[in-house]
């Protein structure tokens, strides 16, 4: 078994050491492009994050790409052989982190902690009138592994929680909406919108003026999926017009977020540096190693991506 490791902006050695411990006897190495005239070392499988097209072109014997994250949009932009499978992480510790982040953002908005931050700066002792949870229904766009975990976590705080997904999902205690025909009803039923959709041609720019304006007055957006889901100016316009109360954004069209971008200084926007759910190396290695073992045992592996749907 031969495995190539090709992960952009990732220190390879800790990952290689962990994989060698998890898969003893397996030949695993960090990929470097072959020099002209040199025969490339070919792998059976690859562990990747945003690999270049040259890697795919060179590694002609690959059977599976094991992505060290949940999002696979960067891989789907590449010219991939039809026979090459993409396998994403199911969770690997990310869902709990995501639930923490989203719950914090929702509660911060619901309890109006931003006003207390301002009070502290101005040394003012004041109270905010308690709000009713029933008046703050939360809508979760995307009901996969991460979305389901987030929705269930929010339910523990007794918020009304709605979920929307492309295919039918039945989650205990939650109201489910399915398909484009039910998207308007889902949006109108939500005051807080949490985006956890995969980025596909169908979902790019889905958080636009037409959709965001259907949210309840005083709506709040939390985007922890991909920056290209949001039409930036549409969001700013709705915030400035008062239809939306604010937004917490962890992902952006260009990362790092350029210094001149309006999001940085907008008084109703909280910016974080794509940190809502980081890949945890130990959990990721254990999961990928388990999947690789399953491949060689002829067993079914979870997380295979449908290249047409994009997830």
88 catalytically annotated: no
141 near 198, Cβ under 8 Å?
A: no
Q: Which residues contact 57 (CB under 8 A, 6 or more apart)?
A: 79
Closest CA to 191 of 152, 136, 110, 242: 136
Closest CA to 229 of 68, 71, 120, 16: 71
43 near 3, Cβ under 8 Å?
A: yes
Sheet of 85-87: strand order equals: 27-30, 2-7, 45-49, 64-67, 85-87
Closest CA to 70 of 293, 305, 291: 305
Count of C-beta atoms within a 10 Å radius of residue 14: 12
27 near 9, Cβ under 8 Å?
A: no
Pick the catalytic residue from 274, 278, 281, 304.
Answer: 274
- Round to whole Å and give the CA distance between 242 and 69: 36
226 catalytically annotated: yes
Please tell me the total number of residues recorded for the chain in this structure.
Answer: 311
Secondary element (H or E) of residue 27: strand 27-30
Pick the catalytic residue from 88, 226, 229, 281.
Answer: 226
3-state secondary structure of 162: strand
Catalytic residue ranges = 226, 274
């Amino acid at each position: 078994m031969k495995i190539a490791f090709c992960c952009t902006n990732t220190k390879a050695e800790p990952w290689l050491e962990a994989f060698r411990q998890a898969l003893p006897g397996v030949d695993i190495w960090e990929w470097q492009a072959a020099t002209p005239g040199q025969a490339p070392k070919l792998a059976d499988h690859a562990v990747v994050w945003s690999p270049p097209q040259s890697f795919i072109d060179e590694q002609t014997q690959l059977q599976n790409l094991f992505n060290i994250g949940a999002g696979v949009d960067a891989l789907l932009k590449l010219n991939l052989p039809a026979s090459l499978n993409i396998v994403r992480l199911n969770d690997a510790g990310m869902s709990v982190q995501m639930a923490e982040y989203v719950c914090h953002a929702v509660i911060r908005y619901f309890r109006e902690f931003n006003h207390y931050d301002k009070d502290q700066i101005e040394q003012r002792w004041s109270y905010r009138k308690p709000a009713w949870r029933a008046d703050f229904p939360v809508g979760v766009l995307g009901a996969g592994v991460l979305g389901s975990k987030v929705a269930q976590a929010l339910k523990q705080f007794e918020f009304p929680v709605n979920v929307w997904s492309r295919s039918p999902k039945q989650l205990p205690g939650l109201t489910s909406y399915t398909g484009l025909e039910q998207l308007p009803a889902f949006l109108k039923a939500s005051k807080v919108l949490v985006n956890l959709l995969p980025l596909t041609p169908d979902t790019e720019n889905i958080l636009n003026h037409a959709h965001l304006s259907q949210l309840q007055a005083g709506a709040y957006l939390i985007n922890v999926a991909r920056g290209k889901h949001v039409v930036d100016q549409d969001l700013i316009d709705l915030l400035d017009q008062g239809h939306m109360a604010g937004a917490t954004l962890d992902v952006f069209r260009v990362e790092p977020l350029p210094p001149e971008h309006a999001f940085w200084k907008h008084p109703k926007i909280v910016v974080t540096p794509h940190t809502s759910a980081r890949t945890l190396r130990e959990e990721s290695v254990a999961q990928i190693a388990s999947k690789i073992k399953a491949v060689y045992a002829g067993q079914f592996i979870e997380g295979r991506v449908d290249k047409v749907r994009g997830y």
